[in-house]
Chain A
Amino acid sequence: MKSKSRRLSAVDLLLIVLMILPFVAGIVLKVLTAPPSEGISITGARVYFTIPMPIQDLPITEAQVNSVLVLISIFALCLFMTRGLKVKAESKRQHAVEWIVEKVEGLVNENMGEMFAGFAPFIAAIIALSALSSLSTLMGLYPPTSDINIVAGWAILVFILITYYKLKGGLLYYLKGFTEPIFVMTPLNILGEIATPVSMAFRHYGNVLSGSVIAVLIAAALQGLSSLLLGWLPGALGEIPFLQIGLPAILSVYFDIFSGCMQAYIFAMLTMLNVSGGFPEDEYEKRKQKKLLKKQKKLQMNH
């Protein structure tokens, strides 16, 4: 019984392969389409092909593809983790997945309150997508989070959620909120409202992109320094950038791993705080009670 549960079944293996395959595919795709290197260049995502669309053509870029690959990988991970769940937890897998779910729910409950308990999967989605996207750079992929369009999409979704929950206090109450504390502040308030998603998007995108840019700059600088200091070495030895060994890896720990996870956490945190912070709880309760009263009155009238 125990050896059976410990051994991976064919489906488990398939799911693990499905988890890893997207990244492998991404790397292969990148290697196949990579142009010959011409020194250092800092550009946006590579465009694979462009689909003509109304308003604006849609270029299918590396960032887009990688984003979808990460999505598929997370999906496979989900299926893998939730396989063979039992009421009496036996496997480490189940302990891990329960720990994750409880942690996320605890985080959401702590920051948003009981009313927003349904947000837990959404927050988990943000953290997972953002962190894994940023971490995909470790495998040499173009991190989707360093494309403004990707992060902007998330930020706009968050903005929609913020506005949706603000409107729960009533449209009038929502509009009145812009004129506070004094009427003159209205333009600033509107600006502030729009600034939230913009700042969220740019913060995330900028952090990840700047990490990549700094990594490229430092690598290039080290290459230059290496050829300057060690160029006298005979033959091919002189062309090997020895100084590039070590330092970029250490910087990668900060820029790719730490910063990537940090930005994911910050984005999730800001989402939680902005959505629950903008929600007018008192007004919502008042409206709820008013509606209830109206309903009761209607019922009485009908009787």
Chain B
Amino acid sequence: MQSLDIISVNLWQILISLVNLLLLFLILKKFLFKPVKKVLEQRQAELDAQYASADRAEALADEHRKEWEEKLSTANAQADAILQSATENAKYRGDKLIAEAQDRADGIIRAAETEAQLERKKATDGIKREIVEVSGALTEKMLEREINTEDHRALIDSFIEEIGDGNE
């Protein structure tokens, strides 16, 4: 078995080596870079999709937040309005109630007053009648004769009137 010289150039060997390198290039391209890059691209695509969906979700959340904030602010205003109208209503109704009560109280007082007056009048009338009767009886006794009450009614009345006026 012989060996080559330490430097021996051989055209075919060079060609074979060249082809070998080309072959390895193709092998690496097809069996190493292609599958790995495919996976990397897929991962990138997935990542992009996830980012996009996250962005979308964020946008949606933002939208919702805005919506809710708007709703909240309008709700606040609404609540304020409702409260105001309620207080106004209550005030109005309270005023009305008070006024009614006042009216009614006034009415009651007035009625009571009139009743009292009526009562007094009745009482005075009663007293007058009593006095008339008493005075009638007294005069009858004094005069020993019957006085026709009917006839002297006017006289007696004026007399009592005078007494009543004096009493009052």
Q: Is the CB of A149 within 8 A of B10?
A: yes
Q: A113 interface residue, CB < 8 Å from B?
A: no
Q: Chain B 7-42 against A: per-residue CB contact (8 Å), 1 yes, 0 no?
A: 111111111111111111101110111011111101
Q: Measuring CB to CB, which residues of chain B are less than 8 angstroms from any residue of chain A?
A: 1-25, 27-29, 31-33, 35-40, 42-43, 46
Q: Are B18 and A154 in contact (CB under 8 A)?
A: yes
The reply on A25 being an interface residue by CB < 8 A is: no
Least CB distance from B67 to A in Å reads 36
Q: What is the distance, in angstroms, from A286's C-beta to the closest C-beta of chain B?
A: 30
CB distance from A143 to the nearest CB of B (A): 13
Contact A156 B31 (CB under 8 A): no
Contact B24 A74 (CB under 8 A): yes
9 CB < 8 A contacts A-B: A74-B27, A101-B32, A101-B40, A120-B33, A121-B32, A147-B13, A149-B17, A153-B15, A153-B17
Contacts of B37 in A (CB 8 A): 101
> In the complex, are the beta carbons of A124 and B5 less than 8 A apart?
no
Given contacts A46-B3, A78-B27, A149-B9, 12 further A-B contacts (CB under 8 A): A43-B3, A46-B2, A48-B1, A58-B12, A63-B13, A68-B20, A121-B28, A125-B27, A148-B9, A153-B18, A154-B18, A157-B21
A141 to chain B, nearest CB (A): 15
**Within the complex, which residue of B7, B25, B32, B40 is in contact with A148, where a contact is CB–CB below 8 Å?**
B7
Residues of B near A56 (CB, < 8 A) are 10-12
The stretch of A1-9, A80-88, A230-238 in contact with B is: A80-88
A157 with B29, Cβ < 8 A, contacts A149-B17, A150-B13 known: no
Whether the Cβ atoms of B18 and A157 lie closer than 8 Å is: yes
B10, closest chain A residue (CB) = A149
With CB as the reference atom, state the residue of chain B lying closest to A153.
B17
State the CA gap A149–B15 with chains docked (Å): 8
User: Per-residue CB proximity of A57-73 to B under 8 Å, as 1/0?
Assistant: 01101011001100100
Answer yes or no: A126 CB below 8 A from chain B CBs.
yes
- CB pair A129–B20 under 8 Å, yes or no, is yes
Q: In the bound complex, how far is the Cα of B99 from the Cα of A71, in angstroms?
A: 111
Complex: chain B residue closest to A43, CB-CB: B3
Tell me if A87 and B4 are in contact (CB < 8 A): no
Determine which of A85, A121, A152 lies in contact with B14 in the assembled complex, contact meaning CB atoms within 8 Å.
Answer: A152
Per the bound structure, the CA–CA distance linking A75 and B30 in Å amounts to 10
Report if A44-B6 is in contact (Cβ < 8 Å); known contacts: A129-B21, A150-B13. Answer: yes
Which of these, A55, A147, A151, contacts B11 with CB under 8 Å?
A55
Residues in chain A near residue B38, CB distance under 8 A: 85
Please determine whether B4 and A47 come into contact, CB atoms closer than 8 angstroms: yes
Query: What's the nearest-Cβ distance from chain A to residue B23, in Å?
Result: 7
**Of A75, A89, A147, A154, which one neighbours B31 at CB under 8 angstroms?**
A75
Given contacts A85-B39, A87-B43, contact A42 B24 (CB under 8 A): no
Residues of B within 8 A of A47 (CB): 1-4
Given A79-B31, A85-B35, A156-B18, do A98 and B4 touch, yes or no (CB 8 Å)? no
Distance in Å: Cβ of A53 to nearest Cβ of chain B: 6
Q: Is the CB of B13 within 8 A of A82?
A: no
Give the residues in chain B near A128, CB-CB below 8 Å: 24, 28
Residue of B nearest to A68 (CB): B20
Residue numbers in A under 8 Å from B11 (CB-CB) = 55-56
A158–chain B nearest beta-carbon distance, Å: 9
